[in-house]
Amino acid sequence: MTATPVPPLLVGNASGFYGDRFSAVHEMLTEGPLDVLTGDYLAELTMAILGRDQLGDPGRGYARTFLRQMRDSLELVMDRRIRVVTNAGGLNPRGLADRLTELADGLGLEPRIACVTGDDLIDRAEELDLGSPLTANAYLGAFGIAACLDAGADIVVTGRVTDASLAVGPAVSHFGWTPEDLDALAGATVAGHVIECGTQATGGNYAPAAGDRDEAGGPDRPGFPVARIHADGSAVITKHAGGGAVTTGTVTAQLVYEVSGPRYPGPDVTARLDTVRLTRQGPDRVLVSGTRGEEPPADLKVGLTNITGFRNEVEFLITGLDAEAKAALAERQLRAALATREPQDLRFTFVPAEDPHGPTQDAATARLRVVARDHDPAAVGRSFGAAAVELALGSYAGFHLTSPPREARPDGVAATHALVPATEVEHTAILPDGRRVAVAPAPRTRDLAELPEPPLPEPLPEGPARTAPLGLVLGARSGDKGADANLGVWAGSDPAWRWLATTLTVDLLRELLPETAGLRVTRYLLPNLRAANFWIEGMLAPGTARREGTDPQAKGLGEWLRARRMPIPEALLPEVERP
């Protein structure tokens, strides 16, 4: 007797970060079919925020937004028999599971709630040589989630698992995969990676390359993504009807986001991104197939966060003539006022006016931004604010501030990573009936090793070129991983790929983006995706949201690259840009 094929699994995602569109859960439950709804609430910065919450109240440490979303939508979840898997448990998955149970009791509902624990290593930080962090969480895999679903859970709450595991776990349960099904696990991992950041797969935060510019669709209110996962791990990325679009470009953009090389390691499998193939199957349907899987590394990544101190800031507005002299006076006065306890780090940044003689006061106004940092909140609190305000009637002509300084607040987050053997981590599934099931680490592992660079394509033939912004030809997306930045660049056509691969070298990137000079930059080519990924080490040091400047998480780095001008073959430029 021939076995009945297992139907595909429809996994939708309704959150890409803590603070994403609140209504997305209800939208995803009502606007189309789903088997599983996932929600990703955790980023490196979020872990520190939750850790800070727990300092004030040990009962917190989870994403409270999810609890409010379930208050509105739990009845829908139960009526439609859609299972929910989320990492909103953060540092306290048991606490969130308990609050969900209380919520359900109040609504007269009886969902079967399970959770996954074992990722939190803060109590073992010294034993595991992790230092003294605020938070320390191992990235767990998919099999704890699968165990909960196998036991009949309607809702699975996790702490820190890999983002893709939220989709892989349901697929493991649905298809009965084992740790030996490496290609299927890798395919589902790639699908999970595509949908984990929500609308970034459906046109959000998207800068199209020339070849897919016309099919990108309007992103005014993009819908959230759905992965239709098949038994072999291949998946069709799609979405419910509505705004945005799913194209080979939007999927490529997400595939090269926050990754390093062609080997994409996880706790259950290492996915080979260089084997992934994308095929457009129609409007809002992209097949992701061909992904090969290898055994995972023996160690789990552990995310470590710490708050680096406290900060305050004030901005002086300086209008008209002699702006630099006025700024120098304000700096001297403020330093003198703080002389008895000057903050450890006091930085003055002068931003000239658009035109000191301009036709509007805004255009004629320069700014002096002052940022104060210290490990002691008192040094950058009321005393700092008072010192700035007290200058009001005795400083430069036209003195005014954007607003009075606020109370001192926690400074940025230093996010770093460590490695811990998977055998040292007690990955545990707590089933709906309260039973605790230990989840074994991967039975076979493989050390990560660099792959040889693929052969370069043939360069384009010589021809006329024109100086123009790179963004007319290439797409890009960038992001952060602790102290490092990732910059993925892709082409929308084969000729543009040939030019990208043979032209945009590490040396040229350093020339185009001078801030990368002096840093270790590695380029990885992904020919199947017509993409290159640049891994820039130390660009965000000492860690996420702590770097000075306007973009501490490198989100705009790709757009800076796309705005840079260089000679580009005229044959690649859009028709309107050609002579």
* Beta bridge pairs of residue 229: 9, 235
Nearest to 555 by CA among 472, 463, 481, 451: 481
User: Is 452 domain-assigned?
Assistant: no
Helix orientation angle between 143-150 and 165-175, rounded to the nearest 10 degrees: 50
Say if residue 534 is in the same domain as residue 519: yes
Question: Quick one: which H or E segment has residue 388?
Answer: helix 382-389
Residue at 200: amino acid letter: Q
Report if residue 4 sits inside a domain: no
- Of 411, 427, 447, the last residue of a domain is 411
Q: Which residues contact 185 (CB under 8 A, 6 or more apart)?
A: 142, 168, 172, 177, 179, 233, 268, 269, 293
Range of the domain at 367: 309-411
The CATH number given to whatever domain includes residue 369 is 3.30.70.360
Angle ∠(508,511,516) on CA atoms, nearest 5: 100
How many domains is the chain partitioned into structurally?
3
Quick one: 173 and 258 in the same domain? yes
- Alpha-carbon distance 278 to 527, whole Å? 12
- 315 plus 358 within the same structural domain: yes
Residue 428 sits in the same domain as residue 383: no
* CA dihedral for 393, 394, 398, 401, sign (positive or negative): negative
Shared domain check, 379 and 501:
no
Q: By three-state DSSP, how is residue 513 classified?
A: coil
Cα(414)–Cα(167) distance, integer angstroms: 28
Residue 341, φ and ψ in degrees, nearest 5: -155, 70
Query: Does residue 320 form part of some domain?
Result: yes
Tens-level pLDDT at each residue, the chain (579 residues): 456 789 999 999 999 999 999 999 999 999 999 999 999 999 988 998 899 889 889 999 999 999 999 999 999 999 999 999 999 999 999 999 999 999 999 999 999 999 999 999 999 999 999 999 999 999 999 999 999 999 999 999 999 999 999 999 999 999 999 999 999 999 999 999 999 999 999 999 998 876 565 455 556 889 999 999 999 999 999 999 988 999 999 999 999 999 999 999 999 999 999 999 999 999 999 999 999 999 999 999 999 998 778 889 999 999 999 999 999 999 999 999 999 989 999 999 999 999 999 899 999 999 999 999 998 988 999 889 899 999 999 999 999 999 888 888 877 677 889 999 999 999 999 999 999 999 999 999 999 998 999 999 999 999 999 999 999 999 999 998 888 999 999 999 999 999 999 999 999 999 999 999 989 999 999 999 999 999 999 998 765 544 556 788 899 999 999 999 999 999 999 875 655
**What confidence score (pLDDT) does residue 209 get?**
74
Q: ∠ CA 573-578-579 to the nearest 5 degrees?
A: 160
Burial of 351 (0-12, 13-18, 19+ CB in 10 A): middle
In the prediction, which pLDDT does 542 show? 65
> What predicted TM-score, i.e. pTM, was given to this entire model?
0.90
Q: Do 407 and 479 sit in the same domain of this protein?
A: no
357 and 377 together in one domain: yes
Alpha-helical regions (H) of 391-525: 494-503, 506-512
460 domain-assigned: no
* Residue 52, phi-psi category: left (phi > 0), alpha (psi -120 to 50), beta (remainder): alpha
Given a contact cutoff of 8 angstroms between Cβ atoms, the answer to whether 140 and 165 are in contact is yes
Question: pLDDT at position 1, please?
Answer: 46
One domain for residues 78 and 172: yes
**Same domain assignment for residues 248 and 139:** yes
Are 248 and 367 in a shared domain? no
445 belongs to a structural domain: no
Based on the fold, state whether residues 132 and 152 are members of the same structural domain.
yes
The whole-number pLDDT of residue 213 equals 52
Q: Is residue 557 within a helix (H) or strand (E), and if so which, with residue range?
A: helix 557-563
Say yes or no: 124 and 252 in one domain: yes
Chain centre to alpha carbon of residue 381: 31
Q: What pLDDT sits at residue 212?
A: 63
Nearest partner of 117 among 443, 441, 442, 439, judged by Cα: 439
Looking at residue 3, what is its pLDDT? 62
